[in-house]
Chain A
Amino acid sequence: MSRIKEIVRLTAQIKTQSVSMQRRLLLYWFSMLLAIGAVLVLILSVAGVFSNESEKAHDSLQLQLNNAKLEISQHMESLEAYGIALSEQISREIDTTLTANGLTVDDLNDNPELLLTLQKNLLPRLHTALQLSQCSGAYLVLNATTNTQSDKASHSATGLYLRYANQQTTGAAKQDVTFFRGIPEVGRAERLELHNRWNLEFDTDLFPGYYAWMQTEVGRLADACCWTERFRLTDTWEDVRLLCVPIKDNTGKVCGLCGLELSSLYCYLSYPEMDSSFGPMITVLAPLRNGSLYLSKGMTGSADSTFLAEAETLSVRQERYFNVYSNGSDSYIGLDCEVGIRGADGNDLTLAVMIPESTFDASRTSGRVLLICCSLALAALTLCLSVFLSKRFVQPILQTIQAIRSEKVSDGAETGISELDELMALVCSKTNEKLLQNDHALPPNIEELFQTFAERAKTLSSAERAILQYYIDGHEITEIPELAFISIHTVKKHNSNIYQKLGISSRDELMLYIDIFRRLGRLNELTEPVRE
């Protein structure tokens, strides 16, 4: 308690201490500079100079793009590897089966028994490939048909197509597999459920360049494999992209295609949108041609928080920090890059990471509003401080002027400003002097006494007045001979004359008169020479 009392006492003492005007002025100007700085910050904030949201958004997008590129590249590379491995296995199986029967690939046409045998042998390999790879389906097509006499024989081919019934991105081993294309006995033998849109054979028109492919020889399978554009799977509601890997016969000619399927739903589940401080980030894998991103021919990750439609075509406009993708009504900001996945047309696919521009703008606006509010508060605070300090600075001056005007200047008055205190003290002393001069209303008899003394002083000779001046100046009698180059006797002689003329009897009496005349400010009456 005693310490608190001590602190309170010290605080009160500090408050009563005088501070120089210069220091107060410095403080005031410092606060003014702060206020100017705050207003400047406010203006610049409104102008958006301090906003680096675009740069931050670019960094976020770039990071997500790098991650997505790595993930997708790995995914696609693994699918292509499984596809090539599948193709090689199928080639060996076909070769083994046909060689055992002394047949060629062309002999598969119109040979249901052989096709049945071949599909029974190939199904386990296809099933294994489906289960091992991260995809939604696996297929193989052989350039042969069960019935060449059929109307659709020209664009119909035998093959197997297995698909997952329920799409999941994890736990593929436990997923149900449906038999989408192939001879039904093969599916039944493996206890696979027929797809509700099952068909015996493939429509080869779905595969781009299928017929050209069947007439050519391919070298390395890795160079030949490619992805189809997105297309609607016949009789279903699903869009897919298919990895196409040629199947070579024992002569090296292409006798069919095999590969893996990526459905739009699988991509949707595999690449969920990522939350960021600027809004949801969407991953898109689509061809980019002539400044347009064709979503209808690519795959899109989940985009639940946006209005992005999978069938859209987005025009791309490059800006300083990112690209703007627009479909006319909605815009997205984002970055893109090529991921080295070859499409059927020979062009690489483009990976893009996008954020809705509306959420980005909202984020940017909220950041700027926060900055503006902060700088506004700072400006208001510093301006208030400036006003307060200016008032504190001016108030004592006004009070002093008022006090001087009203002549209520007291000796002990303290304004808190040292210069003003000095001014007050000066005015006070001057006022007192003035009062003393004005109010030197000595009693009449005393005044008469001093008047007589002053009159008598006028009778002093110049030499005597010179000696008197030494006394007035405060010199002792013993000092005067040294100062005036005369003997002490001469001084004493003058003294006796001075005493006689002034009507006094001692030096003490003389010094008393001198003191009183000094206090009254009338010393000049004693020292002024007589004007004749």
Chain B
Amino acid sequence: MREIVARQLKDVSTRDAFCFSVRCAECGGVWMSRIAAFSKAGTTPASEGKRIVFGALYQKERERARNAAIRQAMESFNCCPICGRLVCNRCFLICEDLDMCVRCAVRLNEHGAPVLPPLAEAVK
């Protein structure tokens, strides 16, 4: 599961903050990880040496943020056992025999309840 999510994770980080996104294969909704600021954001390196140090620090903090994003995404995405796509909780149905994504449920004529209610219902 971790590898599946890691493969789908897209880096949308800037120079000052780290953020990763995963796109639901069914609804196309984009999930964004919690933004984590770079510890040296807004600081200009005083020397070439500092710039190298900041660069290494940036990579280290980015990796840490990426791992955190994977953990967060794993709470919101499911891997459909039929089509193998990574779909969000709203597009994943809890069915009688086997949980699956909405599209597979329609195709296989299976019925089930989504893990999370559709966004419209949730707003209501």
Write out, one digit per residue, whether chain B residues 42-76 have a CB within 8 A of any chain A CB (1) or not (0): 00000000000000000000000000000000111
- Considering only residues 465-499 of chain A, those with a C-beta below 8 Å from chain B are 481-482, 485-490, 493-494, 497
- Which of these, B1, B79, B97, contacts A462 with CB under 8 Å? B97
* Contact call A481/B89, Cβ cutoff below 8 A: no
Q: Answer whether residue B96 sits at the interface, using C-beta atoms and an 8 A cutoff.
A: yes
* Contact call B76/A481, Cβ cutoff below 8 A: no
- Which of these, A461, A485, A487, contacts B115 with CB under 8 Å? A487
In the bound complex, how far is the Cα of B78 from the Cα of A482, in angstroms? 10
Number of A-B contacts (CB under 8 A): 53
Q: Answer whether residue B4 sits at the interface, using C-beta atoms and an 8 A cutoff.
A: yes
In the bound complex, how far is the Cα of B96 from the Cα of A462, in angstroms? 6
Q: Considering the complex, give the chain A residue whose CB is closest to the CB of B84.
A: A485
Q: Considering the complex, give the chain B residue whose CB is closest to the CB of A529.
A: B97
B-side contacts of A493, CB under 8 Å: 94, 115
* Contact call B2/A463, Cβ cutoff below 8 A: no
* Contact call A482/B2, Cβ cutoff below 8 A: yes
In the bound complex, how far is the Cα of B92 from the Cα of A452, in angstroms? 32
* Contact call B77/A487, Cβ cutoff below 8 A: yes
- Which of these, B4, B76, B79, B94, contacts A463 with CB under 8 Å? B94
B94 to chain A, nearest CB (A): 6
Q: Considering the complex, give the chain A residue whose CB is closest to the CB of B99.
A: A463
* Contact call A489/B97, Cβ cutoff below 8 A: no
A-side contacts of B41, CB under 8 Å: none
- Considering only residues 73-116 of chain B, those with a C-beta below 8 Å from chain A are 74-79, 81, 89, 92, 94-99, 115-116
B-side contacts of A463, CB under 8 Å: 94-99
* Contact call A486/B76, Cβ cutoff below 8 A: no
B117 to chain A, nearest CB (A): 11
* Contact call A485/B95, Cβ cutoff below 8 A: no
B-side contacts of A462, CB under 8 Å: 96-98
In the bound complex, how far is the Cα of B4 from the Cα of A486, in angstroms? 11
In the bound complex, how far is the Cα of B75 from the Cα of A178, in angstroms? 147
B-side contacts of A485, CB under 8 Å: 1, 4, 78-79, 81
* Contact call A489/B116, Cβ cutoff below 8 A: yes
B-side contacts of A482, CB under 8 Å: 1-2, 74
* Contact call B99/A490, Cβ cutoff below 8 A: yes
* Contact call B76/A487, Cβ cutoff below 8 A: yes
A-side contacts of B1, CB under 8 Å: 481-482, 485-486
- Which of these, B81, B98, B115, contacts A489 with CB under 8 Å? B115
* Contact call B74/A461, Cβ cutoff below 8 A: no
A532 to chain B, nearest CB (A): 12
* Contact call B79/A486, Cβ cutoff below 8 A: yes
A-side contacts of B98, CB under 8 Å: 462-463
In the bound complex, how far is the Cα of B80 from the Cα of A490, in angstroms? 12
A497 to chain B, nearest CB (A): 8
In the bound complex, how far is the Cα of B85 from the Cα of A97, in angstroms? 160
In the bound complex, how far is the Cα of B107 from the Cα of A419, in angstroms? 62
* Contact call A490/B94, Cβ cutoff below 8 A: yes
Q: Considering the complex, give the chain A residue whose CB is closest to the CB of B81.
A: A485
A-side contacts of B76, CB under 8 Å: 487, 489
Q: Considering the complex, give the chain B residue whose CB is closest to the CB of A492.
A: B115
A309 to chain B, nearest CB (A): 121
* Contact call B74/A488, Cβ cutoff below 8 A: yes
In the bound complex, how far is the Cα of B94 from the Cα of A466, in angstroms? 12
B-side contacts of A487, CB under 8 Å: 74-78, 89, 92, 115
B31 to chain A, nearest CB (A): 11
In the bound complex, how far is the Cα of B115 from the Cα of A481, in angstroms? 13
* Contact call A461/B81, Cβ cutoff below 8 A: no
* Contact call B78/A486, Cβ cutoff below 8 A: yes
B-side contacts of A481, CB under 8 Å: 1, 74-75
B50 to chain A, nearest CB (A): 40
B74 to chain A, nearest CB (A): 6
Query: Assuming the A-B contacts A482-B2, A485-B1, A485-B79, are A490 and B95 also in contact, with contact meaning beta carbons closer than 8 angstroms in the complex?
Result: no
A-side contacts of B97, CB under 8 Å: 461-463
- Which of these, A461, A486, A488, A497, contacts B92 with CB under 8 Å? A486
Task: Give the one of A486, A488, A493, A494 with max B CB within 10 A.
Answer: A486
A-side contacts of B94, CB under 8 Å: 463, 490, 493-494, 497
B89 to chain A, nearest CB (A): 5
Q: Considering the complex, give the chain B residue whose CB is closest to the CB of A465.
A: B97
In the bound complex, how far is the Cα of B75 from the Cα of A337, in angstroms? 119
A491 to chain B, nearest CB (A): 9
* Contact call B96/A489, Cβ cutoff below 8 A: no
In the bound complex, how far is the Cα of B77 from the Cα of A463, in angstroms? 17
Q: Considering the complex, give the chain A residue whose CB is closest to the CB of B76.
A: A487
In the bound complex, how far is the Cα of B65 from the Cα of A417, in angstroms? 63
In the bound complex, how far is the Cα of B99 from the Cα of A493, in angstroms? 11
B-side contacts of A486, CB under 8 Å: 1, 78-79, 92, 99
Q: Considering the complex, give the chain A residue whose CB is closest to the CB of B86.
A: A485
- Considering only residues 437-481 of chain A, those with a C-beta below 8 Å from chain B are 461-463, 481
Q: Considering the complex, give the chain B residue whose CB is closest to the CB of A464.
A: B94
Write out, one digit per residue, whether chain B residues 2-41 have a CB within 8 A of any chain A CB (1) or not (0): 1010000000000000000000000000000000000000
* Contact call A490/B92, Cβ cutoff below 8 A: yes
B71 to chain A, nearest CB (A): 10
Query: Assuming the A-B contacts A482-B2, A493-B115, are A488 and B96 also in contact, with contact meaning beta carbons closer than 8 angstroms in the complex?
Result: no
- Give me the interface of B with A, judged by CB distance under 8 Å: 1-2, 4, 74-79, 81, 89, 92, 94-99, 115-116
- Give me the interface of A with B, judged by CB distance under 8 Å: 461-463, 481-482, 485-490, 493-494, 497
Extra inter-chain contacts (5) besides given A461-B95, A489-B76, CB under 8 Å: A462-B96, A485-B81, A487-B92, A488-B74, A489-B115
Q: Which 8 A-B pairs have the closest CB atoms?
A: A485-B79, A462-B97, A486-B78, A485-B1, A461-B96, A490-B115, A488-B75, A482-B1
Jot down 18 A-B pairs with beta carbons below 8 A, ordered by A. Answer: A461-B96, A463-B94, A463-B95, A481-B75, A485-B4, A485-B78, A485-B79, A485-B81, A487-B77, A487-B78, A488-B74, A489-B75, A489-B116, A490-B78, A490-B92, A490-B94, A490-B115, A493-B94
